[in-house]
Amino acid sequence: MAGISKILENNKKWVSERNAKDPNFFKNLANGQKPKYLFIGCSDSRVPASGITGTGPGEMFVHRNIANMVVHTDMNLLSVLQYAVEVLGVQDILVVGHYGCGGVAAAASNKQYGLIDNWLVNIRDVIRAHETEYLRIKDDAQRARRLVELNVIEQVRNLAKTNIIQNAMRGDNPPRLHGLVYDIADGVLKDLRVDGEEMMHEMEHIYATEAVAAEPTQQADNQANSYEGPTEDPAEVVPGFEAKAKK
């Protein structure tokens, strides 16, 4: 317990401060979440999602991994994305990288690091896709910063390739895609002005897909063997859900 005693003390202080400002704060939070944003960021401890965006509990759904990647075989990321878009109805999806990213730097080197090499190859693919621009930058520091930006842009592009985003874009209230970079040295977020909708138009002749209706003979089997997932937040529709979860 000694290792986390400070965390527990900080929690008590935070609860006390919140209750002092708003006695119904936690009661309202327990009623469900309606976040406006999905934050896809790096796991780096210097880049706290709520801290750098000035958002509080209930405002932002968060997914973090090494180097803020959107990998199409990452079921964790895809599950978060689908839940955020189809259930929570987030309006803005932010891919947030940061200068000085260790994952990006490792991908730019010719060294092996073990298991993580399989993850870093996705960033090396970014280098390959932008090799001409990347190699023209002679200053090492500037080249590293530009790779961070290019990686963010490519991850937004990867978002646009998913059927989750493509289906959402056909809806009445499609989410907006953004690419941002955080500068740890000064605390400022830089908007890379990525146009997710334009990206989709550029790639639709290759990546655009549409759901195919099942054949009549297959519908019965599909109903028995398929599960489409929730359409509402379980915390809002299942009585006592949160209480049971806490136990």
Q: Is 42 a catalytic residue?
A: yes
Residue 121 DSSP class: H
Tell me the residue ranges of DSSP E strands in the chain: 37-42, 60-65, 92-98, 176-183, 188-191
Here the contacts of 211-214 (C-beta below 8 Å, separation 24 or greater) are 211/163, 211/167
101 is catalytic: yes
Contact 126/150 with Cβ under 8 angstroms?
A: yes
Residue 150's SS3 state is: helix
Catalytic choice (18, 64, 72, 101): 101
Catalytic residue among 18, 22, 42, 128: 42
From the candidates 22, 46, 117, 176, which is the catalytic residue?
46
Q: Which of 64, 72, 74, 98 is catalytic?
A: 98
Cα distance from N-terminal residue to C-terminal residue, the chain? 21
The answer to whether residue 125 is catalytic is no
Residue 46 falls in the annotated catalytic set: yes
Catalytic hit among 44, 145, 157, 178 = 44
Read off the amino acid at residue 148.
Answer: V
Tell me which residues are annotated as active site: 42, 44, 46, 98, 101
